[in-house]
A and B are shown apart, each in its own frame.
Chain A
């Protein structure tokens, strides 16, 4: 409050001197900066971070229009226009990457997405607080494990040599299954891994939304003779409707994204045809093979489609009467 009245006072003095409006504005901006110099000092490291690590790389996108050579640098490299983009779109790899990305994300949308909703409804119906806490602690835990660990555990369980599942299958007189090297199982395996890691964690937001539902609604429904299923259908699910819609739309907005670490770690020669996605492709061609310009073009394509999808999804959310994220 003190600073505001002080500023108002300064403004009065300024009018008394009858400065031109532009000069006045200039002065008050300068005064504001001087007054808040410590605030700017606090903001400085973060601002430097965003400029250096988020905005400087934006210029790096330009190399996708060049035949960039690290030895010549960006200024001396030859400009080639959209050549790399055209080459990528006319390359059969493009369709394979697109197919794999869509397949992995559609599977996740169909099989992963509903599970946290179902799980949170079940946990919400639990009456004992202790049991509920225990279940929550257990199903949240895998979210915090790294993909390296989860893929390592997958190998321990499923490998054809020492994997326990295959040993059990063999002991039961059934044949071994090549889970890790059969392309037919790859997408499904990724979905199962994601479910184990994150289906539990996905309940957090739904449970929070359910906690804010007025319990009187349930009491009233009970008196009217509604059983548990009808209460879930008419009270619990409508109560989380907006969270579900927002998350679904966000999920669709990220349909070009597949977690790099999971796919990269699960990939092997036998399944590379169904495993390759945009990010693993960029990593292999760009970092490993040094095709910097071409792989940057692939990355830029993916980011632009992602941007359009996220903005579109956000618009859609607002159309549904939700707040959207942006």
Chain B
């Protein structure tokens, strides 16, 4: 079909506008990247430049040589791996059990779970619970209270609902019990949606901040986001964060390039899973949009 003249103008203007939107979205990230790779001496001389003449890895080298940073990365990596694995396990077990219509008390359990999505007791009561469980300053306080959520269970149950019961019957005849069916039949069949949930869990664990603010006081046990907050935000407003002070003590490397190197390092894992995330966007959107 021949395109109308108006159509072609529309397409060109549309592409142009979207290109501008894309560039505006990318610019802050580009600038972060540039600052982090700018040679420290050049940054001190020129302050901000969009195209540095001398590139350098000094900021990264210095950052990765500090114990505090490495430890924080380790803590966050633990959350993103162990936390994600446990979350997937607990969520998929419960969702599968609740997707079987013969389960007695199923409606009541589903109602209990639905209610938790409607009403939450706020910040203080969970804090008191964590304190009473003696989990303050334990890395488990960042995993256990967010192990699963009502929305995730209800959504995953929806996926399991759509698996035909005939498959289950076949496995049962072969002598599997319910756990065997779940492990050998259901999980392999739902790998794509498990991957989607897993990626969203992993990003959430990697970005853990609020719960750490509440439950972790021990500097050595803080996840990366809290260290970043100390470096990026506390130090640039008022009371200098301990981390930033410790790191810029030598004064050879300007705080800005160090900060941005930290931002880049904290973003790399997300960029690494991003292509996989994209594959599951449609499902992920459902996970992400109703969660709030």
Contacts and interface: CB of A to CB of B under 8 A. Distances in A.
Contact of A138 (B26, B114, B260, B289): B26
B275 to A, nearest CB: 9
A39 B210 contact: no
B278 A137 contact: yes
Given A149-B267, A228-B7, A204 B119 contact: no
A262 to B, nearest CB: 11
Interface in A45-78: 45-47, 49-50, 52-61, 63, 70
Contact of B35 (A156, A261, A299): A156
A157 B28 contact: yes
B233 interface: yes
Given A126-B18, A286-B124, A147 B104 contact: no
Interface string B190-214: 0000000000000100110110011
A126 B48 contact: no
A47 B150 CA distance: 11
A179 interface: no
Contact of B123 (A134, A140, A283): A283
Contact of A303 (B91, B120, B256): B120
B128 interface: yes
A159 B256 CA distance: 11
Contacts of A122: 14, 17-18
Contact of B100 (A39, A70, A123, A155): A39
A43 B282 contact: no
B281 A147 contact: no
Interface in A246-284: 247, 250, 254, 257, 260-261, 264-265, 268-269, 279, 282-283
B121 A303 contact: yes
Contacts of B94: 42-43, 45-47
Interface stretch (B57-65, B172-180, B245-253): B172-180
A53 to B, nearest CB: 5
A296 B122 contact: yes
A52 B144 CA distance: 10
A300 B121 contact: yes
B14 A287 contact: no
B53 interface: no
Interface string B203-236: 1001101100110000000000100110011001
A83 B32 CA distance: 50
Interface in B14-71: 14-15, 17-19, 21-22, 25-26, 28-29, 31-32, 35, 47-48, 50
Interface residues of B, number: 101
A205 B287 CA distance: 11
Nearest to A180: B237
A227 interface: yes
Nearest to B231: A152
B179 A38 contact: yes
A32 B104 contact: yes
Nearest to B147: A49
A302 B125 CA distance: 14
Given A303-B119, A326-B118, A148 B169 contact: no
Contacts of B90: 45-46, 49
Given A136-B278, A228-B6, 11 more contacts: A39-B100, A45-B89, A119-B21, A143-B288, A149-B228, A208-B285, A260-B210, A265-B233, A282-B122, A307-B119, A326-B118
Interface of B: 1, 4, 6-7, 10-11, 14-15, 17-19, 21-22, 25-26, 28-29, 31-32, 35, 47-48, 50, 89-91, 93-98, 100, 102-104, 109, 112-114, 116, 118-129, 131, 144-145, 147-148, 150, 153, 169, 172-173, 177-179, 182, 203, 206-207, 209-210, 213-214, 225, 228-229, 232-233, 236-238, 256, 259-260, 263, 266-267, 270, 274, 277-278, 281-282, 284-286, 288-290, 292
Interface of A: 1-4, 29, 32-33, 36, 38-43, 45-47, 49-50, 52-61, 63, 70, 119, 122-123, 125-127, 131, 134-149, 151-153, 155-157, 159, 162-164, 167, 196, 200-201, 204-205, 208, 222, 227-229, 247, 250, 254, 257, 260-261, 264-265, 268-269, 279, 282-283, 286-287, 292, 295-296, 298-300, 302-304, 306-307, 310-311, 325-326
18 contacts: A2-B169, A39-B100, A42-B94, A42-B178, A46-B91, A47-B94, A50-B112, A54-B116, A61-B122, A135-B22, A137-B278, A149-B228, A151-B232, A153-B28, A156-B259, A295-B124, A299-B123, A326-B114
